[in-house]
Every structure is written in structure tokens, then in C-alpha cells.
A and B are shown apart, each in its own frame.
Chain A
Amino acid sequence: MNAPAELAKVIASQPDASLGYKNFSLGSFGFRRDEYFVHINWKTRDGRPMSHTMDAGNYLRALMRDVAWGFFYGWVNFDNVFGTVNHYQSVDMYAGSFNGTMKDAGIDMLENFPTAQIRATFEAMLDDWTNESFDPFSAPQETGSAYGRKNGSNTAKITRARELATRCVGLKGDLNLRSDESGAPINRAFADVSQSQPELHPEPGFENEVHAFSLFGFLSRSQVTWNPSFTSVVKHSFMCPTTEEHMLPIIHGNDRVEWFFQMTDEIHWDCADKNTGKPMARVIMKAGDMSAMPAYCRHQGYSPKRSMLLVWENGSPTLVHEIQKGESPEIPVQF
């Protein structure tokens, strides 16, 4: 268990003779998919067999985000039963542990894995179970079916590099602007978004400091949905805008407060208790609206039209511990 190669070892079966998909196991959990569904099984602490079923498309969309985000901040609930918690060097995987009813019944299971081990298993599962016709990073109208027997693969679409600016998009040596030439055409739902860039009039020698770019133009060319990407950075304050369409494929429970600034169109959020899933509020956001997500809630968004959302994160590595110690409030402001 010491060498990285050993940690990253993936336990997979041979492909199923008729369906063509591999089964995977990680710790006490087993995973298999068929034409429509993903089946997860585990044993309770007193040895009873338990199982859970998810739609294959929904499962792969959730798995895609968890892999692409490197397990993100805090809780990534695939649904109200299954998910992961990021501890930044290790990751908890659980079934029922944050579902009030299942937890009370004592049938939940939570296990901790080194990040390299769970990442390798999730990446292999995503690659094996994603067919040629399906892009789990796209909205349902933009891609083909996730269903059926194994039919090719779509490795290029599930291994896109995460786009992270270190200071600001478009600066020399930082994340590049998007263009047709870079493989980032304007999304059909943003065809009416202006592509004009700001006028820059730098004096000689200040070309890389007199800097601005069209954020809306940049976002109109996003090739993926629900994928916060850094565009500007002030210390640990990260602007992570993203384009949203259909449903956020996970229910996110953050270990810190985050904020949403709706820049165009609208998103409706379901907010629920992070530990039990009990509904707490609906947040209806339209262009110009700002809302905090308290650190005690989990949230899932619904975007009828592709929309531009600014996710604003405080990436301070000490923040989660400050919240746990009660030194940082779960509520952003008191008034």
C-alpha cells in the first residue's frame, strides 16, 4: 500500500460477455452497469447486503464532474444516496451516510481512500462505461445516448484539461482566450452574445498590464456544462464562472460558504440539509442576482436555457478546518 502504483491499482473484471462492460470494486463497494442503469452494492456493518440503482446517464454525468474537479470542495452527492467527500489528500466514498433515513436505519457505509486510488478507479470506470455516442460533460440536447451495450469509447471528451487561470484569462503566459481556431466555437444557445473585445490603449511597455477581455464572449464558447473554471484570482478569491444547462449533475454540499452570481438568464436551486437531505429552500436566480450558499446546505441547480453563472469560491486551504472548529461561520453574513 505504499508505492503510488499500488495505490492506483484498479480492480476491474473482464468485460461482461453480452453487455461488454467491466465491473469495478473499490473497498467494500461493487459497481456494475447494464444497458440503462448503474448498480452499486455494499454490505452493512453487520453484514447485510445492500444495493442502489442509478440511471446510467445521470451516474456518468456525476462521475464526470467528480473526476474533472478532482473531487471538488466537500461533498459531491451523485444523488441522495451515493457520493464522495474530499479531504484533499484522501476521499470518503459513501452510500446512505448523508441520507437521514438510511443513516438512522444503520445501513449506510462510508470508507476512506487515498485520492490516487479512488481517482484511478473512477477514471477507469468513466472511460469503460462512456460509449462513443455520449459526452457526459454536455447537456442532454447536445449529445447522444448513454444507454445500450458497450459501443466504442469517448476518451478525448472525458479527459479535457481543467481550465485554470493563475491571474487572469488572456494575460501573456496565462490561460488563453477561446476561439474557433482553438476548438471553441460559440455555443448555439449563446449565438446572440456579442463577441466584441474591450478596447485596449496601453502605453509602450504596459501591454501586459493594461489588460481586459470579454468574459461573456469567453463563456459563450465554453464547450462543457456545469464546470467552474478559474478566470481571475485575488489571493484565494477565485472567480469560477461556468455555463449551465439542464441540471447540475451532482448535489453539492460545500465545506465552506460559496456564492453564486447569475450573469444571464436564470437558474432555480434546490437547497437541502447537507447531512440529511431535508429540503430547506428554493432559490430562484435571474440576471444580476447574488446569493450565498450557506456551508450547512447542499444544492442542485436547474437551468432551462444555457446560462452564465459566476461561482465565487474562497479557496483558502485552512477554511474547512476553521469551519469545523467553529472559527468561521457557516452563514456568510449576519444582519
Chain B
Amino acid sequence: MAAVYQTRFGSLKNFEKGHVEPISDDVRHYAFSNCFEIASKSKPYEKVVFGQNQIYVLETLRAEGTSPWYTCAHDEFALVMDGEVEVHLVKLDAAQAVADVEKNGAVRVEGEPRGQKMGWMKLSRGHQALLPKSTAYQFRTPGEPGVIVLQTCKGDLSIEKWADICQTH
């Protein structure tokens, strides 16, 4: 008879954090954190950097209620780790798009986004969405709070608080 396996996922309500066991190193060099723990202490849609490699970041967002409208000069990707999240997209008029095509990271759209509605998506755990460059996007989480991991570049809205989120000893 085939063995039965249970895949263990984490969630805001139920996660177990691992740890670094140092032997001859400083644990802070591993910048060890947990996205569910971060999101459990964050404000809605606060973009907390929990991975950084030069200009690139991974951010943890607490998905709760409706987010501001964002836009970005490059593609971004949103991976839902918990909850159900809608993503609404608008093809932004040039006047509201990021003027500098080299600019890194997301910015807030000033006022309501103007442009053609592109459509929307409904994501649940393990689903990953493209946030195409030069579009406006908004997250809507009608139900229980969830968790989003965002693949992007470090920008004006990125929040770094490593000492608060990482194992320090």
C-alpha cells in the first residue's frame, strides 16, 4: 500500500518557525525570518523587505482589506502564501505611469487610476500573478487576512526592519 503524505503549509494562524543553530558564525548573517510572523505584526499592505540581493528584494505583505493602487516601471510578481486575494489591473494612461523607465520598485498611483480596465484575478494559496510593468494594480482581500510575497526591486515604499524580523542570537 502506498504511503500517504501530508504536505505542511504555513498560515497566519498556524505556522512554526525554524531557526539557525550557530556553530562558528553570527546568526545575523543568515537574516533568518518567517513571512507569516512578519505579516502577523504588519499593517495592511506594508511592504516589508525580508530578502535583499543588491537592487532586488522579496517583500512580505499582509493582505487585509483593499490596498492602494500601485504601479511600477518593471514587472513584479505576487505569490499568495495564505488567504484569498483579488488583483485588479488597469492599463495606466501615460500621464500616471512612472516617468523614469529605469526606476526600481513600486510607487503609489496619485488619485484614482485612469486608463482601460484590463481585468482581475482571484488567487489563493500557492498562486502567483504577474503584475505587468506600467499597469496599475490593487489588491483586494474581502475575507480573512492573507499573506503575499512580492518579487520586485527595492523602491520608495520598501520598508526595512531587519532587527525586528530576524533572529539575532
Contacts and interface: CB of A to CB of B under 8 A. Distances in A.
B30 A234 contact: no
B128 A232 contact: yes
B77 A239 contact: yes
A264 B8 contact: yes
Contacts of B30: 271, 281, 283, 291-294
A98 B37 CA distance: 38
Contacts of B121: 198-201, 210, 212
A19 B143 CA distance: 64
Contacts of B117: 203
B7 A288 contact: no
A190 B5 contact: yes
B129 interface: yes
Contact of B31 (A196, A216, A288, A291): A291
A235 interface: yes
Given A261-B51, A335-B28, A282 B23 contact: yes
Interface string B80-106: 010000010101000000000000000
Given A200-B119, A288-B34, A212 B53 contact: no
A284 B4 CA distance: 24
Given A190-B5, A202-B119, A289-B32, A312 B53 contact: yes
Interface residues of B, number: 74
Interface in A110-143: none
Contact size class for A?
35 or more
A297 B10 CA distance: 28
A189 interface: yes
Query: Closest 8 CB pairs between A and B?
Result: A216-B126, A335-B162, A287-B10, A288-B10, A212-B129, A202-B119, A237-B56, A199-B122
29 contacts: A168-B77, A168-B128, A168-B130, A191-B5, A202-B118, A206-B91, A209-B132, A210-B118, A211-B129, A211-B130, A232-B128, A235-B55, A235-B74, A235-B153, A237-B56, A239-B151, A259-B53, A271-B30, A279-B24, A281-B24, A281-B25, A283-B21, A284-B19, A284-B20, A288-B35, A288-B36, A289-B18, A290-B50, A292-B30
